[in-house]
Amino acid sequence: MEKTKLIPVLALVAIVVVAGCTGKGNEQGRLYGPLHWHVQLELETCGVAQGLPSFDPNRQEFYGTPHLHHHNDNKIHLEVPPGESILNSDATLGGFFRAINMPFSSETFMNYKNGDKCSNGAAGMVHFFVNGVENSEFGAHPIIDGERAKIVFG
């Protein structure tokens, strides 16, 4: 093949390969609407039940973002309308707590970090449970409709 013909062929191959990769990556890396999923939350620090930050329902429809929020019901709402999508990495417990600006990781929860002492003097740490079973994914755990998640510092 002549050099002048080879270059356009190689360029075409490169475009196809790049387009194929990004297309596949997007499909694997996103969840597409319509989705309306809920996760029941139970939160506790040093033996005391905690709620999500509340809001005035006369002034706003939800607390968080259109895709990730709560309605003063201690539930994560993942709501993605038809034609919209959310990154898999945001469709997680961590994504929800980022959306409501509440610290949550294996190291920190609300205003506590591992090693902080509760009023009884004992040092606590963050524990995470899904449907009653301790789970080590913390913020990386995906939002799955119907699950119950519990976060405990203590």
CB of 144 to Zn ion, least distance (A): 14
| Cβ proximity to Zn ion, 77 vs 150, nearer residue | 77
What does the angle CA 10 – CA 11 – CA 16 come to, to the nearest 5 degrees? 95
DSSP 139: G
CB of 146 to Zn ion, least distance (A): 12
**2 class by beta-carbon count within 10 Å (0-12 exposed, 13-18 middle, 19+ buried):** exposed
The closest residue (CB) to Zn ion is: 77
| Cβ proximity to Zn ion, 67 vs 77, nearer residue | 77
Q: Which residues pair with 153 in a beta bridge?
A: 45, 126
Which residue is listed with tokens 């004992």? 122
| Cβ proximity to Zn ion, 41 vs 126, nearer residue | 41
Which residues sit at the interface with Zn ion, rule CB under 5 A?
77
CB of 74 to Zn ion, least distance (A): 12
CB of 83 to Zn ion, least distance (A): 18
CB of 69 to Zn ion, least distance (A): 8
| Cβ proximity to Zn ion, 38 vs 150, nearer residue | 38
| Cβ proximity to Zn ion, 34 vs 47, nearer residue | 34
Which residue is listed with tokens 């993942």? 78
30 neighbors 63 (Cβ within 8 angstroms):
no
140 neighbors 94 (Cβ within 8 angstroms):
yes
Which residue is listed with tokens 């509440």? 102
